Structure 1
Amino acid sequence: MATVHRWTGLEARALRLALRMSVRSFACHLGVGIRTISKWEKLLASTEPRQDTQAILDTALARADSAAHDRFDAFLSGQIVPLAGLHSGGPLAWEYESWSDDLDRAAVCLSRQDFTFAERLVRRWLGRFELSGLDDKGVYLYARSTALLGDLQRDQGAVLGPLSVQQSYASARWLFDRLGTPRRVAQLDLSLAVIAEMSGRLESAAQQYQSLAGDERLSRRDRARAQLWVGTALSKSGSHGHASRVMVAATKEFEDLEEPEDWSVAHQKLALAHRGAGDLPRALHFIGIARSTAASDTPMQRVRLETAHGHILLSDPATRDDGLNILDKAARMACQFGLSHQLASIEDIRAKEKSA
């Protein structure tokens, strides 16, 4: 295990890098000021921390795991270089791997609606390097990070404003286009169409979905999703019959692709289209299929399913109270997990019910 007889800024910086922390997080970890860390980073071996800080660094090193000790030894022995100018250049080999791993972890956290940890994992890398200093691999990871940040903002309902999902998706799209990755660009086009729909621009969203449903840059599954969302936009604009026909075609495509989660979501969308058309028996039939076959049990999907179910039950005076109770439960879950867009949808349904 590595030991340090006398700490200088050089060893302190090696420890920070070994722990994979930013200057700010390392300062918090040690309980010292950011300016102190910056001074060590600038002066390296020509400066020594104070005696009490030496002990703090000893403790931080002792508590580090074995992998961090290995990285610390490698930094000091020169096996990993450079120690200076890291942030003005690109990531080191182990940082590429850690960055990619963190993005995979962030995607899992996002699927579980653990927004706080997902955002922490994404932003630690977005704030670590200057984009201008990254090579193509680094730019690709930066673009993935930005797109994931957009997914997080979308699920939290941050649709409008300069720090919204629209900006994140547009930035990620520009980076993937710069890298010449057409499938990623098309996926971001699809995500931007979703945001258009969430923002109430239904005609624009339907047109974008229609174009992407036949876009060969996308996978067959993504094209089927675009087709399903054409139906969603049509249903929201009142074209329920046309919407149902489009959705049925997408549902068959998901069945052929053996995509049970998308297949279940398609039945949920079909149920709402039939509710809009006033065919409550078929609406209840399809929402029953969606609820019994849902492949995902995430809070987001539970809220969406229960919101759809409650909305359908509200349409019949005989089941109105049941519908209100289900919407109340969905609203509580939406609040618990910070699903503000879903909560706004529930409030809109309640408001329309009161005014009816």
Structure 2
Amino acid sequence: MAAVTNWTGREANTLRRALRLSVTGFAEHLGAARRTVAKWSSQGEKVQLRADMQAALDTVLARAAPDVLERFEALRRHDTRGALAVATRPPGAVDADTGKDGSGTDSDGDVQRRRFLQGATGTGMAVLPNVTPLLDALVSLPMAREAEPVALPLRQLARGVAAAKAAYQACRYEQVLGGLTILLPTLAPTRSDAEGDQRTRVDAVASDLYHVVGSVLLKVGDRGMALVAAEKSVQAGTASQDPVAMATSARIMTHALMSNGHTRQARSLAEKAAGTLERDTRLMSSDQLAVYGALLLRGAVAAARSDDRDSAQAMIDEATRAAARLGYDGNDRWTGFGATNVLLHQVNVALTLGDAGTAITLARQVPLDKIRLAERKASFFVDVARAYTRWGRYEHALDALRIAYDVAPEELRCRPAVQHIAGDLAALSRGHVRTAVVEFTRRVGILV
């Protein structure tokens, strides 16, 4: 095995994964601060380790058991392939996961992103065929159509948005993308024809529409354009002057900020928006209470991604109280909020903080019969697969992916996160498990 000549955060995190240790466990093993080890995990090769940490990692690697060394080498090879793909990308090309070019800056605008997505099939990112028309509609580019869009009656527009949201929660992404592409061009004429209170109601529906657009773009990995959609949702929510619409738009903005690496801003926004909603409404309706709790859960995930364990736990605790006050697992204002949803987020938060064992323990407590939304159930089993992969239980991880696929095939085919998990399983597993992983990914169309 080749020695590591220069330890960066990426190599250190690879060794942690090979040892099957959580961030906390690895920090204790090295005698380092947990925050330091978490920084290695989040910033990768951007972090150059101090000389004393380099020496400590040399010692740990030298004393590692043969199976640990084998996993370490397999993970290094897998990670290097990903780094090589970035390094050899043509100048100005856009990364499928980050929406940025090789320089780390945003690409030259929305049109360039759209062109990349149009030709992205076969690059490792599964793109549904009608993503490009959706992006055209989002940035108001001309599209080939038989007639100019016309205003819709508000009730019809609201029904269309509700149908798109329902299709999204059922993981029928091709269907929802087609519906959104039709609805987006109608917003401008519908708003132009409306007056007074009718216009503010159109703005509230528009905020929900852009929320769905942002959500589905995050699913397919276009984080940059998802942020564009989130900004439009916030603008429409603010124009509506509806406290719930404004809070709902803050949910998608929190998610988009978090997915683009702005975790501290995301946590702050979620906390502030939840506080504003509570102050302005006193949380007197089920919609208000559900959106409040959902915002706190999104903020808890953002806090975990910033390695802010205390803030994450505080928001989980407050969301738990909100769920108890609501008293049922529902889907008010499309949040899917309730006690079960809080538990699902606890699993994700534990996993984000590097505590795969805790995530599995929590996952075993989830009442599966109470997860009524396909999107939430599939996402839960993807989290379980990720936790088992980190824990070294590769066959269990594959079983979780199979369940997720049975629940929602499109969820697995279009999510970059699933491709990463499947890639790790293919790199780390051996024997009949690896054969089963390869067969499964080929059968269901996951690119690794």
In the superposition, the TM-score normalised over structure 2's length comes to 0.50
Larger RCO (CA within 8 A; separation ≥ 6): 2
Query: 1:308 aligned to 2:369?
Result: no
User: Out of 216, 227, 235, which is 2:296 matched to?
Assistant: 227
Deviations along 1:213-248, one digit per CA (max 9) or x if unpaired, are: 312346233222222222212222333465335323
* 1: CA distance, partners of 2:403 / 2:369: 20
- Asked if 2 retains the 8 angstrom alpha-carbon contact of 1:126 and 1:142, the reply is no
Q: 1:182 to 1:265 in 2, by over 3 A?
A: closer
Question: What's the counterpart of residue 268 of structure 2?
Answer: 207
Let me know the Cα RMSD of the aligned residues: 3.6
Question: What's the counterpart of residue 10 of structure 1?
Answer: none
Question: What's the counterpart of residue 347 of structure 1?
Answer: 419
SS in 1 for 2:366: helix
User: Out of 305, 324, 343, which is 2:398 matched to?
Assistant: 324
- Asked if 2 retains the 8 angstrom alpha-carbon contact of 1:254 and 1:262, the reply is yes
* 2: CA distance, partners of 1:190 / 1:202: 13
| Structure 1: gaps of 5 or more residues | 1-32, 39-85
Deviations along 1:106-130, one digit per CA (max 9) or x if unpaired, are: 3322322333444444444443462
* 2: CA distance, partners of 1:191 / 1:303: 19
Query: 1:160 aligned to 2:223?
Result: yes
Question: What's the counterpart of residue 197 of structure 1?
Answer: 258
Deviations along 1:27-55, one digit per CA (max 9) or x if unpaired, are: xxxxxx95xx89xxxxxxxxxxxxxxxxx
Question: What's the counterpart of residue 62 of structure 1?
Answer: none
* 1:322 Cα offset (Å): 1.4
Deviations along 1:268-312, one digit per CA (max 9) or x if unpaired, are: 2223444456655543331122253533241x2222111121222
Larger radius of gyration: 1
- Asked if 1 retains the 8 angstrom alpha-carbon contact of 2:200 and 2:239, the reply is no
User: Out of 239, 242, 248, which is 1:178 matched to?
Assistant: 239
User: Out of 360, 364, 369, which is 1:288 matched to?
Assistant: 364
- Asked if 2 retains the 8 angstrom alpha-carbon contact of 1:230 and 1:243, the reply is yes
* 1:191 Cα offset (Å): 1.9
Between stretches 271-280 and 109-118, larger displacement belongs to 271-280
Between stretches 144-153 and 250-259, larger displacement belongs to 144-153
- Asked if 1 retains the 8 angstrom alpha-carbon contact of 2:300 and 2:311, the reply is yes
- Asked if 2 retains the 8 angstrom alpha-carbon contact of 1:272 and 1:283, the reply is yes
SS in 1 for 2:168: helix
User: Out of 137, 145, 163, which is 1:105 matched to?
Assistant: 163
* 2: CA distance, partners of 1:284 / 1:278: 12
Q: Alignment length, in residue pairs?
A: 264
Question: What's the counterpart of residue 320 of structure 2?
Answer: 251
SS in 1 for 2:275: coil
Q: 1:245 to 1:142 in 2, by over 3 A?
A: closer
The amino acid that maps onto 2:223 is: L
* 2: CA distance, partners of 1:351 / 1:120: 30
Q: 1:182 to 1:311 in 2, by over 3 A?
A: same
* 1: CA distance, partners of 2:323 / 2:271: 17
Between stretches 201-210 and 322-331, larger displacement belongs to 322-331
Question: What's the counterpart of residue 15 of structure 1?
Answer: none
| Structure 2: gaps of 5 or more residues | 1-144, 282-287, 330-336, 430-448
SS in 2 for 1:223: helix
* 1:208 Cα offset (Å): 1.1
- Asked if 1 retains the 8 angstrom alpha-carbon contact of 2:165 and 2:212, the reply is no
User: Out of 339, 342, 346, which is 1:266 matched to?
Assistant: 342
Q: 1:247 to 1:350 in 2, by over 3 A?
A: farther
The amino acid that maps onto 1:345 is: A
* 2: CA distance, partners of 1:278 / 1:178: 40
Between stretches 180-189 and 193-202, larger displacement belongs to 180-189
* 1: CA distance, partners of 2:400 / 2:262: 28
Question: What's the counterpart of residue 72 of structure 1?
Answer: none
Runs of 4+ in structure 1 displaced over 6 angstroms?
331-334
In the superposition, the TM-score normalised over structure 1's length comes to 0.61
* 1: CA distance, partners of 2:338 / 2:376: 11
Q: 1:119 to 1:134 in 2, by over 3 A?
A: farther
* 1:196 Cα offset (Å): 0.7
* 2: CA distance, partners of 1:272 / 1:338: 17
SS in 2 for 1:289: coil
- Asked if 2 retains the 8 angstrom alpha-carbon contact of 1:140 and 1:179, the reply is yes
Q: 1:239 to 1:101 in 2, by over 3 A?
A: closer
SS in 2 for 1:127: helix
The amino acid that maps onto 1:197 is: M
Query: 1:134 aligned to 2:194?
Result: yes
Between stretches 247-256 and 117-126, larger displacement belongs to 117-126
